Chains A and B, each alone.
Chain A
Amino acid sequence: MKFIGDTRESLSIALTAVRANPLRSTLTMLGIIIGIFTITLMGAFLNGMDHLFRQTASSMKTDVYYVDKWSWGGGDWRLMRNRPDIQEEYLNQLQAKMTTAASFSMSIGKWGQNVKYKNRSVQFVTADGVNEGYLQTESMNIQYGRFFTSAELLSARPVCVIGYEIASKLFPNTSPLGEVIRVSGYPLQVIGIAKRVGGLFSVFTIDNTVVMPYRTLQTAFGQKHQSVTIGVKAKSVEHKLDTKDELEFYMRQIRKLKPNDQLNFGINNQDQFNEQIDKISGLLSTVGFLITGLSLLVGGIGIMNIMYVSVKERTREIGIRKAIGATRRSLVFQFLYEATILALLAGAIALALAYPVTVLANNLLLSDSDLQIAFPIAYAGLGLGLAIATGIIFGLAPALRASRLDPVDALRYE
């Protein structure tokens, strides 16, 4: 096969086309530039998320099941609201019966609290009132200070352990230990600081939590009887589903449910979270590919337009080439090649723009975040591949038109 791929000539023709009509060419290429730019940045972000994810997942307690009034996976909200509360007594009953559990905890969580120290404050903090099992089920490590004593846990002592984010925001320069903070107005003395968990969702982790004794929380928020959360950590991660089954079995017993009755409690696990996250990144990439696809479509139509104009402007040249022996096929290749060069040019511009954006985003926006993005080589390659495909697909019709011109007519063309 005679492959007419004179790169330099095609490149110079493509550049000439760009120079001849900069506005049109730029607009044309803009579609492709946006498309490739989007897919590259999305790729960078997805890669970063993925990385962070694996990091987060390892810190996630996927072997802990939470018995809760609410099911995390969603469901009928009104139905769940009418479920009976999870009672404190369930803890002892489960503890007495279960054989596949390593540890148990009981807690009440209050979302969306504010925490103040002097003139500083942090919003949307979780306040957890806990028992002694919390250390084990939550795998909480105390970095400074200490956890609560049994005496503190049984009484309603106004003490707390705070997460890393809260500590660093409220006490940027000094030690929080011994200081009194106000959790939604209620004063608590800081006796410990939890070790940093990090990861994507630090708002949902210990990092953003004020932990206090169970009774303290009840006193602070003034509700004696309310639904608690019981955490059950599996003995073995591999057999955690056995633990789940056992937990469900005894909970059914406690609730006196018949085998066919629906559960009137939730057994929650962070795996459910991960599924949600997967859905989110799936959605993100769908949107990304959609934007990319649309931009490439627009860019491709633009390329087709440029190529049609180019074929028309170069009708005589096509006639000359035919007269000296160009086959249809070689002309198709020539014009496809030019369309592809044009598209690749746009792709290269997109990558040249995306690269500094990833660097800047890392250095400016994400400098103190766990999310780090890198220039995604694989997505960049995918982007260039898509640019080439766009050039070929949308260059085809003009290229075929060029190849089918009648040589005599083409030579006559003024």
Chain B
Amino acid sequence: MANSKVLLDVKDVSLSFGGLDALKNVSYQVTEGELFAVIGPNGAGKTSIFNCLNAVYKPQTGSAKLDGVELLDLRPADTAELGIARTFQNLALFTNLSVIDNLMLGRHHLLRSGPISGPLWWGKARREEEVQRRRCAEIADFLDLADHGSMPVGALPYGVQKRIEMGRALAMEPRLLLLDEPVAGMNQEETEETAHHILQIRRELGIATLLVEHQMDLVMDLADRVMVLDFGQVVAIGEPAEIQRNERVHQVYLGGAS
């Protein structure tokens, strides 16, 4: 990694639901600009890791700091302002709104107009809309989402909706991007396109990314480092080549999968 300053520092996070331990003493670090993949069998706790960083779940113990700021004490909306953006495993778009409006919502925390200036429109609110919409159009172009106009996104194909979610996350101008199974349910062509976009985000935008994905070849191709989870515990963290050689990983995960 060219830049090895730690951006996200997670220590001893444990999360349980009733008697069930979703995460047990999970610790890891993500550096600036790194693409850090999280893999593991179903129910291993991958999505729970995201939900903790987003302050949607409150772990019983541990700490998670983004550039020194504790995330676990925050509320979900605060994490957006701090620069954490995510996509969801199951689509969570604003289905009745257009692509641009979905992206604009990603920029909600960067906008200022309110209950008086918005309705009045002329002046500040209008300028803000124009500038920000232009920016969203650029992001839409970047992800090849430009030709869907004012269609409600709920009517668009699944693969496109997945990409719009990525666009909405990018529109937040994040420092840390969380992608939860971005290619799940996609065909080969869509998967390759998305892989290309993930690479572009990493190489050209330099945004640190946490990637949860079941598709192993994709993970091994893209990731700088991989963390393997099983039953809420960290089995191994390392570069893709190391992970592929790791005995325990084979036992709990790769062995079972192939």
Q: Do A and B bind each other?
A: no
Task: Report which B residues bind A (CB closer than 8 A).
Answer: none
